[in-house]
Amino acid sequence: MNLKKYPYLVDPWSYASLKLGFERAFETIAGDEHLLSLALKRINLAVEGKLPDEISASTEEEVFSFWLSLLSLKASGSIYLLNRVVDVEVERAKRFLEDEDDLVGIARSLGVRVESKSISFPWVVEKGRVTYRVLDIAVPVGDFLRYASGSKLEELRLVNNFVKGGYVFLERRRFIKLLVEASRRFILDSLKAVEAPETPAFEKLVKEVRELEVRESSGLREEFLPECIRQIISRSLARRLSDEEVYVLLSFLSAIGAPGEYVSRLLSTIGLAGEDRAVVVAESLARIKGYTPFKCEELKARGICDCEEDLVKEYMSRVRRRRARRRV
């Protein structure tokens, strides 16, 4: 298995001890200025949404920069940036999975059970000839649901897949999508079990990450918000928002990964929660996945607002245009 492609499959403490030959070697790694600079570079690139296939030609540097970056995000308490970086890391892994020869081996490393079962059934009849569809990857229903439950993809809904004898039968393309979701959960679960190192150099990295979060937070301005969201915020200053309006606002902020500081300040300003309660709501919102604003047709039908484009897509396209102008 190529650890450069999938550094999250490595336990950093054990890997450091193996490479350096003594226990608690990861503390030494966490004092290496070069590796820490690669970790910060990794975070900055991920925040910009352009993480390359390689940060370094060295496997060790790929593994350690990955773990130092995520551990510094964890130590900084930045749920917003952590989720953002994990999403980009998972997208990077997806590129490798699409060309991976040993998907079954990757799946088992992630804890996903895979069986050597296949099923075929008539799929297309053309000019009297029957073409069969073959699904040759079988995942127990329980495992499928465990990893697909947090996905927004229609292809990973159980009802949209072939289920027989307690197994979900998948083609390669859908199996990769499942492994992407499994990778995301594996990274977050592994991160909970890994201790952050305690070195002055690592603490300096954590401080830099906190400063980055502040810069990113202050960079979110209401001028990027869709008109529909701006209308809801404006109405909140004149009257109490309906439950549907509150849902649209909060689900939108959750979907775009709005920084906790921005969310808590907004909730307090528009009177949805007091200052202390707003902080709690913002922290809870950062942990929620899978809720999305109503589609434009529903927004119009419910009399909330008129819109032409998905609210999240509208916001993200504005952000991308702004970043593109910055790079020119």
Residue 322 is predicted with a pLDDT of 65
In angstroms, the CA 84 to CA 87 distance is: 5
Among 226, 243, 231, 236, smallest CA distance to 268 is for: 236
Which residues make beta-bridge pairs with 322? Answer: none
Helix orientation angle between 59-76 and 172-193, rounded to the nearest 10 degrees: 60
Select the highest-mean-pLDDT range: 80-89, 240-249, 267-276. Answer: 240-249
C-beta of residue 120 within 8 angstroms of C-beta of residue 134 = yes
Give the 3-state secondary structure of residue 58: coil
Burial class of 265 by CB neighbour count within 10 A (0 to 12, 13 to 18, 19+): middle
Among 225, 236, 249, smallest CA distance to 318 is for: 225
Q: What's the pLDDT band for 66 if we cut at 50, 70, 90? A: very high
Residue 138 is predicted with a pLDDT of 94
C-beta of residue 106 within 8 angstroms of C-beta of residue 114 = no
Among 321, 291, 295, smallest CA distance to 307 is for: 295
The identity of residue 237, as a single letter, is L
Tell me the per-residue pLDDT of 36-60, one tens digit each, with 9 for 90 and over.
999 999 999 998 878 899 998 899 9
Higher pLDDT, 52 or 254: 52
Among 47, 49, 32, 42, smallest CA distance to 78 is for: 47
C-beta of residue 131 within 8 angstroms of C-beta of residue 155 = no
Residue 143 is predicted with a pLDDT of 94
Helix orientation angle between 200-218 and 33-47, rounded to the nearest 10 degrees: 20
- Take residue 160 and report the two structure tokens written for it: 């949209």
- Region 267-279 average pLDDT: 83
Q: Global pTM? A: 0.66
What would the DSSP string read from start to end of 201-243? HHHHHHHHHHHHHHHHHHT--GGGS-HHHHHHHHHHTTSPPPH
- Region 109-136 average pLDDT: 81
Q: How many residues in total does the chain contain?
A: 328
Q: Which residues of 117-136 are buried (b: 16+ CB within 10 A; e: fewer)?
A: eeeeeeeeeeeeeeeeeebe
Q: Is residue 218 over pLDDT 70?
A: no
C-beta of residue 123 within 8 angstroms of C-beta of residue 101 = no
The identity of residue 73, as a single letter, is L
- What residue ranges do the domains of the chain occupy? 7-100+195-214, 103-184, 220-327
The identity of residue 203, as a single letter, is E
C-beta of residue 150 within 8 angstroms of C-beta of residue 185 = yes
